[in-house]
Amino acid sequence: MTQATGQTVTESTVPRFARGTRLQYDRVREVWFVQAPERAFHADPIAAEILQLVDGSRTLGAIIDQLALKFDAPRAVIAQDVLAMVADLTDKQVLLHA
């Protein structure tokens, strides 16, 4: 059902959390959650790594570089994951970008 929202996610995109959404570590369950209006959804370990780098000033390109270095993984693979996840969370109104 999801349709394009007119916002294209590229490596120059600078994502930020929309007001009323945030990433939060749950010390009781020992997992990360995205807190959003009237729902909290579990962020899997990959999503949590990406979202911890979302600060409203880093570009997705910089986030991809950092993760490729940290996990010693092929940049193209990381890039695909990051761009897809950010597009999905933008559709869910969790992330915004200019």
Partner 1 sequence: MTSPPPPMSLLAELTHRCPLQCPYCSNPLMLDPRTQELGTAEWQRVLDEAAQMGVLQVHFSGGEPMARPDLPELVRHAAKAGLYSNLITSGVLIRPDSLRALADAGLDHIQLSFQDVEAASADRIANMAGAHAKKLEAARLVAAEGLPLTLNFVIHRQNAQRVPAMLELAEQLGARRVEIAHTQYYGWGLLNRDALLPDRAQIEATTQAVQAARTRLAGRMSIDFVTPDYYEDRPKPCMGGWGQRFLNITPTGKVLPCHAAETIPNIVFPSVREASLADIWDHAPIFTLFRGTEWMPEPCKSCAFKEEDWGGCRCQALALAGQANAADPVCHKAPDHNAVVQAIAQRPQTPPPFRYRRFGNA
Q: Which of 80, 87, 83, 96 is nearest to 2 (CA)?
A: 87
CB-based burial label for 76 (10 Å; 0-12, 13-18, 19+) = exposed
> How far apart are CB 49 and partner 1 at their closest, in Å?
20
Q: Closer to partner 1 at the Cβ: 42 or 75?
A: 42
Residue of the chain from 20, 70, 73, 84 that contacts partner 1 (CB under 8 A) = 20
Nearer to partner 1, 29 or 76 (CB): 29
Report which DSSP code applies to 44: P
Residue recorded with tokens 């009323």: 20
**Which of 11, 14, 18, 59 is in the footprint of partner 1 by CB under 8 A?**
18
CA angle 44, 90, 34 (to 5 degrees): 35
List the x/- string, 38-77, binding to partner 1 by CB under 8 A.
Answer: x-x-------------------------------------
